[in-house]
Structure 1
Amino acid sequence: MYIDEFRDYCIAKPGVTEETPFGPDTLVLKVMGKMFALTGLDHFEFINLKCEPEKSAELREQWEGIRPGWHMNKTHWNSVFVDGSVPDNMIRDLIDHSYELVASSLSKKLKEELKSL
């Protein structure tokens, strides 16, 4: 997966915005203001994605290219490498999972706003 494919896939989802709050080298994608994905812009090596803790552990055992989230809460975040060790369709599934996990944790007001988009 290339960075433009990653970005386009994420930004097409309802309520998604992109920011660089950690500096110009880190792209952060948020759904209704809550982060669900981030990656390096200069070095697109992996994507940090939120994940349910039980699923995180299973994925890390099954895939060499899925590791505890770099500079993130290791229980809730995975670093998913884009070096071919994880297929693109699996990466898209994990992006979807992260997006849905974060969207489901939004306040009732934000969930209603997201539904209307």
Structure 2
Amino acid sequence: MNVEQLREYCLSKKYVTESFPFDEQTLVFKVAEKMFALCSLEKRPASVNLKCNPERAIELREENEDIIAGYHMSKKHWNTVCIEGQLSTVFIEELIDHSYNLVVSGLTKKMQRELGFIKN
């Protein structure tokens, strides 16, 4: 996967926006104004920081050399995933989905209803 494919996949999800809130090199993806993915446009090989539940984060780091504790993020809740390494595109998309779903599940029930994630 490359950065453009990552960008297209993230933007294909409901209510996702992209911005550069920190600097001109760090692309941030948010759902309902909450970050779920951050990607440096300068660093090579390309990587993305993704939110992850703490138990799974540890397992992923132990099983994959292309996944490390989140760079400049909470090491408990974020992983840095090399997208130009040995991980398959399908697996990276699953990790993006997990991050996105964690953020959506953390929204208030009212916000989830307003956005159509849950029905009345």
Q: 1:63, CA displacement in angstroms?
A: 0.3
Paired with 2:70 and 2:35, the residues of 1 have a C-alpha distance of 14
Q: Provide, for residues 44-95 of structure 1, a one-character-per-residue CA deviation record: whole Å limited to 9, x for no partner.
A: 5210000000000110110000000000000000000022222111100000
In the superposition, the TM-score normalised over structure 2's length comes to 0.92
Q: Secondary structure of the residue that 1:73 maps to in structure 2?
A: coil
**8 A contact 2:18–2:28 mirrored in 1:** yes
Structure 1 equivalent of residue 63 of structure 2 = 62
Paired with 1:47 and 1:88, the residues of 2 have a C-alpha distance of 13
Paired with 1:59 and 1:42, the residues of 2 have a C-alpha distance of 25
Q: Secondary structure of the residue that 2:87 maps to in structure 1?
A: coil
Q: 1:97, CA displacement in angstroms?
A: 0.2
Q: Secondary structure of the residue that 1:96 maps to in structure 2?
A: helix
Question: Counterpart of 2:86 in structure 1: which amino acid?
Answer: S
Structure 2 equivalent of residue 2 of structure 1 = 2
Q: 1:39, CA displacement in angstroms?
A: 0.5
Paired with 1:4 and 1:83, the residues of 2 have a C-alpha distance of 12
Q: 1:42, CA displacement in angstroms?
A: 2.5
Gaps of 5+ in 1: none
Q: 1:112, CA displacement in angstroms?
A: 1.5
Please list, as runs of the form range in 1=range in 2, the aligned pairs for 1:38-117 lying within 5 A after superposition.
Answer: 38-43=38-43, 45-115=46-116
Paired with 2:68 and 2:87, the residues of 1 have a C-alpha distance of 11
Paired with 2:57 and 2:10, the residues of 1 have a C-alpha distance of 20
Question: Counterpart of 2:104 in structure 1: which amino acid?
Answer: A
Runs of 4 or more consecutive aligned structure 1 residues displaced over 2 Å after TM superposition: none
Identity %: 49
Paired with 2:43 and 2:61, the residues of 1 have a C-alpha distance of 22
Structure 1 equivalent of residue 26 of structure 2 = 26
Paired with 1:113 and 1:48, the residues of 2 have a C-alpha distance of 27
